[in-house]
Amino acid sequence: MNESLRAIWQELGIAEAILAEKRLCIYEEATALVDVETGLDGRVWQLTVEAAAAWRAMQAAAAGDGVTLRIASAYRATARQGELIRRKLDAGQPLSTILQVLAPPGCSEHHTGRAVDVFSPGGPVVEEAFEQTPAFAWLQAHASQFGFTLSFPRDNRYGYVYEPWHWCYQPPAQV
Ligand SMILES: [Zn+2]
């Protein structure tokens, strides 16, 4: 853990022991990012070059099957993750509760620029009900062909809530 990350954790009151307890890892923050899509609120979502290409290919294939996939969240900086946790702390939520839905700064797959939160227009956004949508059924059947996997299935080993919307692109293994 580098010094700037350690400072963020200290400010939020997150103990380093949580890394071992929750079996978390520190993700390298993406550096080279490309714009992928603009949300309804005007935010521009970014991914790494490779993940963006895989996402576009998957999105096009889904569209060919009549399924519209859109991004609710993509790359997120470590500092931004800290701000999101700080906001919930300031609203009075206990840290342990917050960390069931938000990874500690540095530990979110969104830092890698390879993770996307997916929704389909008109359907639930970042809610478990996404599991009931045709978009989720399509992803379960086809996402792996594009290198995307579901990171947090039910009863996952990180103790995170089930996130049917969160998919991460893993680059093909280097030979
Ligand atoms: Zn996510």
What pLDDT digit, counting tens, does each position of 127-148 carry? 999 999 999 999 999 999 999 9
- Residue 147 resides in a domain: yes
- For residue 174, the model assigns a pLDDT of 64
- Residue 88 resides in a domain: yes
- Residue 53 resides in a domain: yes
Give per-residue burial for 117-147: e unless 16+ CB within 10 Å, then b.
bbbbeebbbeeeebeebebbebbeeebeebb
- CA gap 89, 128 in Å, rounded: 23
* Interhelix angle 134-142/49-64, nearest 10 degrees: 120
- Residue 29 resides in a domain: yes
Ligand 1: centre distance to CA 102 (Å): 9
- For residue 175, the model assigns a pLDDT of 61
Ligand 1: centre distance to CA 105 (Å): 13
pLDDT means per 10 residues, the chain with 175 residues, are 93 95 91 93 95 98 98 95 97 95 94 97 96 98 97 88 95 70
Pairing of strands 44-48, 115-119: unpaired
Number of domains, the chain: 1
Can you tell me which residue has the tokens 């400072």?
A: 7
- For residue 154, the model assigns a pLDDT of 94
User: Where residue 84 sits, what CATH number does that domain have?
Assistant: 3.30.1380.10
Classified as helix, coil or strand, 119 is: strand
Residue 48 is given by DSSP the state E
Containing domain of residue 42, as a range? 3-169
Pseudo-torsion of CA 62, 64, 68, 72, nearest 10°? 40
- Residue 114 resides in a domain: yes
- For residue 158, the model assigns a pLDDT of 81
A 10 A CB-CB count for 18 gives 16
Residues that place a CB less than 5 A from ion ligand 1? 117, 166
- For residue 173, the model assigns a pLDDT of 72
Ligand 1: centre distance to CA 85 (Å): 14
Ligand 1: centre distance to CA 101 (Å): 9
Q: How many whole angstroms from its chain centre is CA 165?
A: 9
- Residue 130 resides in a domain: yes
- Residue 174 resides in a domain: no
- Residue 120 resides in a domain: yes
- CA gap 90, 14 in Å, rounded: 15
- For residue 108, the model assigns a pLDDT of 95
Classified as helix, coil or strand, 42 is: coil
Ligand 1: centre distance to CA 19 (Å): 19
